[in-house]
Structure 1
Amino acid sequence: MATFFLALGLVLVVEGLVYALAPSLVEQLLAALRAIPEDSRRLIGLASIAFGLLLVWCAKMLGA
């Protein structure tokens, strides 16, 4: 459970930094995402999930 809270906290820190340091970039990114077809966005999301799970697995194998 501690690992879950650590991961969630890190995600929130990174998200907060993006919004705090480059809010206009976030708006540009959202506009660019609207231009991508929904199926492609879904595929990008699934690929991100798979890569994230791979990173979590690697971290666990290394003793995290």
Structure 2
Amino acid sequence: MNWWWSVLGGVLLIEGLMPLLLTKAWRNTFERMLQLRDGQIRFIGFISMLFGLFILWLNR
């Protein structure tokens, strides 16, 4: 279970860097994402998951 909390903490750390350091770019990105269709957002999520699985596979 400690591994899970470490992973979650790392994800939150990385996710928090963009709004902290690049606030305007972060806001513009989300404004553009609001204009995407549901299928496009799902595709982005799918690609993100595949990339995450690939990284986990590399670190096994």
Structure 1 runs of 4+ off > 4 angstroms? Answer: none
Alignment correspondent of 1:36: 36
| Deviation for aligned residue 1:2 | 3.3
Alignment correspondent of 2:18: 18
Alignment partners' CA distance in 1, 2:59 and 2:3: 11
Structure 2 gaps, min length 5: none
| Deviation for aligned residue 1:13 | 1.0
Aligned residues: 60
**Code of the aligned partner of 2:35:** A
Q: Please report the TM-score for the alignment, with normalisation by the length of structure 2.
A: 0.80
Alignment partners' CA distance in 1, 2:55 and 2:3: 13
Alignment partners' CA distance in 1, 2:44 and 2:26: 18
Structure 1 gaps, min length 5: none
Alignment partners' CA distance in 1, 2:40 and 2:8: 26
